[in-house]
């Protein structure tokens, strides 16, 4: 779909929906043992990947995240930036909860996000959405996130 799909500067609600596929390199992850109870750690990481939107567009994704984990059950929060081929960007703040599978092969997560800023055709973006996904932590294969957000573009 052409980039004019999102170009309407109106208060009419629009949807941004798709799937992100990303990975975290070892050099982009820091894990610190908290030391209060067994199995409690805090992680700071940067993930990079691609967002495949329902309308056919692809955007580069960078996310910075903090994970507070106790024995495989975690809360997380962070910031994400999608950069589209035309240079437009969408930034959001996200948070959620995750649970590691009993065999430790994957982590399922779900949460919410709020759009915090947009540039180019997303200037003035306001709105929020939900996400859910799976991290294949034990294999190092990365993770996916399905997301859907509703937004408006303010005329300011």
**CATH code, domain with 85:** 2.40.350.10
Give the pLDDT confidence score for residue 10 in this predicted structure: 53
Q: pLDDT exceeding 90 applies to what percent of the chain?
A: 81
Secondary structure (3-state) at 87:
coil
- What does the pLDDT look like over 91-141, one tens digit per residue? 999 999 999 998 888 999 999 999 999 999 999 999 999 999 999 977 777
Give the separation between CA 32 and CA 44, rounded to whole angstroms: 9
Domain count, the chain: 1
Does a structural domain hold residue 68? yes
- What does the pLDDT look like over 68-94, one tens digit per residue? 999 999 999 999 999 999 999 999 999
Does a structural domain hold residue 6? no
Give the pLDDT confidence score for residue 22 in this predicted structure: 96
Does a structural domain hold residue 119? yes
Does a structural domain hold residue 77? yes
Nearest to 82 by CA among 8, 151, 155: 151
- Cα(first)–Cα(last) distance of the chain, in Å? 26
Q: CB 33: neighbour CB atoms within 10 A? A: 10
- What does the pLDDT look like over 50-60, one tens digit per residue? 999 999 999 99
Does a structural domain hold residue 118? yes
The per-residue pLDDT of the chain, averaged, comes to 92
What integer is the mean pLDDT of 12-34?
Answer: 94
Range of the domain at 111: 13-150
Give the separation between CA 75 and CA 84, rounded to whole angstroms: 29
The pTM score is: 0.88
């Amino acid at each position: 779909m052409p980039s004019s799909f999102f170009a309407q500067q109106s208060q009419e609600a629009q949807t941004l929906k798709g799937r992100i596929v990303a990975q975290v390199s070892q050099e982009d992850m820091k894990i610190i043992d908290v030391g209060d109870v067994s199995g409690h750690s805090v992680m700071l990481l940067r993930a990079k990947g691609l967002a495949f939107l329902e309308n056919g567009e692809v955007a580069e994704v960078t996310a910075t995240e903090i994970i507070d984990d106790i024995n495989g059950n975690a809360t997380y929060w962070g910031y994400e930036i999608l950069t589209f081929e035309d240079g437009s960007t969408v930034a959001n703040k996200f948070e959620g909860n995750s649970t590691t599978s009993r065999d430790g092969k994957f982590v399922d997560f779900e949460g919410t996000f709020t759009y915090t800023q947009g540039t180019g055709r997303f200037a003035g973006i306001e709105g929020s959405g939900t996400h859910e996904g799976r991290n294949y932590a034990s294999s190092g294969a990365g993770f996916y996130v399905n997301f859907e957000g509703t937004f408006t573009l303010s005329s300011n």
